[in-house]
Amino acid sequence: MATPPRSEVGVFDEQRERLRSRYLKAEDARPPSSGRGLHHAALVSSDVERTIRFYQDQLEFPLTELFENRDYPGSSHFFFDIGKR
């Protein structure tokens, strides 16, 4: 991925600052989250075994399922237990 020109980077910086000032609240001013856990997250991995070892051995999230991605033959879907939801 190419680095965007400095003029575009400035636009991104301005946008982030606008979003921060509009939406980001101090911790003691934030409402409680309605979330009760994470259902799933989709991530891209170039090395399935390395990814499994990282999540299972380093983060201690046990592998719960592994199967071929029906949308892209030859690729894999894999799932980890990341705690109660």
Per-residue pLDDT of 8-59, as tens digits, reads 767 878 989 999 999 999 999 988 877 777 777 888 888 989 999 999 999 9
Query: pLDDT at residue 5 above 80?
Result: no
pTM value is 0.55
Torsion region of 60: left, alpha or beta (phi above 0 gives left; psi -120 to 50 gives alpha): left
Give pLDDT, residue 28: 92
Q: How confident is the model at residue 3 (pLDDT cuts 50, 70, 90)?
A: low
Of residues 79, 53, 55, the one with CA closest to residue 67: 79
Residue type, 78: F
The tokens for 71 are 């949308």
Give pLDDT, residue 37: 72
Of residues 76, 12, 1, the one with CA closest to residue 45: 76
